[in-house]
């Protein structure tokens, strides 16, 4: 049998096209990305059909984890600074300039006021460890008292921002109701009756009133 000669082909592939795709995707992700804000605790939010997006700016975020610990945060760095200064003077915490700065650039805060100074003075790694064991910001269902520190934070933040902040509550699906009620009552006592609960989006179940509405909206 005559041998069939197989022409030897080069193993080199033209990478240009692949390179193009890679960088196209890279550009997309670089532009579309918004880094996850570092959060002290992992919170698994429940789902709802609500489609209202979370506001970008002027957000006051109250985080409630599954153990019922409360964390507090606002997004504006300047406001954070003003806030910690006013809390500092109101409670005679004696924070230094560097501790105030460390609050301003930090993430959610979840420490009782009497431990705030030590917390802010600590190194970032120590703080991450602390966040795992902290008891969270003390809150209560009762009216505005000194013990209800959450209420102090919220009240101060609102006054400094000129009532511009939107209150968002990010609570864990497994948090028990009494813990959630603490937050709600605190807000109610401060005359805040409008707030947003952060949820994941889920599909509208077919055959329901909301589904019909959605369909009607689409066909228009």
Partner 1 sequence: MAEIAESGGGGKKKGGKKAKKLSTRVDLTPMVDLGFLLITFFMFTTTMAKPKTMQINMPDNDKTITDEERNKVKNSTALTILLSKEHRLYHYEGIGDDPTNPPEVNVTYFRPNDGIRDVIIDKKKKVEDLKRTGGLTADDQMTVLIKPDDDCTYDDVVSILDEMNINDVKVYAIVDISEVDKEFIQKTEAANQ
Question: How far is residue 27's CA from residue 21's CA, in Å, rounded to a whole number?
Answer: 10
By CB under 8 A, is residue 193 in contact with partner 1? yes
Q: Which residues contact 25 (CB under 8 A, 6 or more apart)?
A: none
Identify which range of 43-51, 81-89, 93-101, 111-119 contacts partner 1 by CB under 8 A: 43-51
Sketch the per residue contact string, 11 through 30, with partner 1: x for CB under 8 A, - otherwise. ----xx-xx--xx-xx--xx
Cβ atoms of 73 and 107 within 8 Å: the answer is yes
By CB under 8 A, is residue 198 in contact with partner 1? yes
Cβ atoms of 68 and 136 within 8 Å: the answer is yes
Q: Which residues contact 196 (CB under 8 A, 6 or more apart)?
A: 52, 54, 55, 166, 167, 168, 169
Q: Which is nearer to partner 1, 48 or 135 (CB)?
A: 48
- Tokens 């602390």, located at residue: 130
Q: Which is nearer to partner 1, 101 or 166 (CB)?
A: 166
Among 33, 57, 133, 219, binds partner 1 (CB under 8 A): 33
Q: Which is nearer to partner 1, 93 or 107 (CB)?
A: 107
By CB under 8 A, is residue 159 in contact with partner 1? no
* 58-97 residues near partner 1, rule: CB under 8 A: 64
Q: Which residues contact 166 (CB under 8 A, 6 or more apart)?
A: 55, 58, 59, 60, 195, 196
Question: How far is residue 40's CA from residue 27's CA, in Å, rounded to a whole number?
Answer: 30
Q: Which residues contact 129 (CB under 8 A, 6 or more apart)?
A: none
Q: How far is the CB of 141 from partner 1 (least distance, A)?
A: 10
Q: How far is the CB of 27 from partner 1 (least distance, A)?
A: 10
Among 90, 118, 126, 210, binds partner 1 (CB under 8 A): 210
Question: How far is residue 194's CA from residue 200's CA, in Å, rounded to a whole number?
Answer: 19
By CB under 8 A, is residue 217 in contact with partner 1? no
* 163-192 residues near partner 1, rule: CB under 8 A: 168, 170-181, 184, 187-189
Helices 97-104/77-91 angle, 10° precision: 140
By CB under 8 A, is residue 218 in contact with partner 1? no
By CB under 8 A, is residue 199 in contact with partner 1? yes
Binding site residues, partner 1, CB under 8 A: 15-16, 18-19, 22-23, 25-26, 29-30, 32-36, 45-54, 64, 168, 170-181, 184, 187-189, 193-201, 204-205, 208-211, 213
């Amino acid at each position: 049998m005559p041998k069939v000669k197989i022409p030897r082909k080069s193993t080199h592939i033209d990478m240009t096209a692949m390179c193009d795709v890679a960088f196209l995707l890279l550009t997309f992700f670089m532009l579309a990305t918004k880094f996850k804000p570092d959060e002290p605790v992992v919170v698994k939010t429940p789902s709802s059909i609500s489609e209202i997006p979370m506001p970008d700016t002027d957000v006051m975020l109250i985080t409630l984890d599954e153990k019922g610990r409360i964390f507090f945060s606002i997004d504006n760095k300047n406001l954070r600074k003003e806030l910690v200064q006013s809390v500092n003077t109101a409670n005679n915490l004696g924070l230094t300039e560097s501790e105030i700065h460390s609050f301003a650039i930090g993430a959610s805060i979840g420490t009782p006021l009497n431990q705030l100074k030590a917390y802010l003075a600590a190194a970032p790694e120590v703080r991450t460890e602390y966040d795992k064991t902290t008891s969270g910001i003390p809150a209560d269902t009762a009216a505005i008292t000194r013990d209800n520190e959450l209420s102090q934070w919220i009240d101060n933040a609102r006054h400094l921002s000129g009532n511009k902040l939107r209150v968002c509550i990010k609570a864990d699906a497994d948090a028990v109701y009494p813990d959630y009620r603490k937050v709600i009552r605190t807000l109610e006592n401060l005359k805040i009756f409008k707030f947003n609960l952060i949820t994941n989006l889920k599909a509208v179940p077919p055959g329901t009133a909301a589904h019909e509405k959605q369909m009607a909206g689409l066909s228009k």
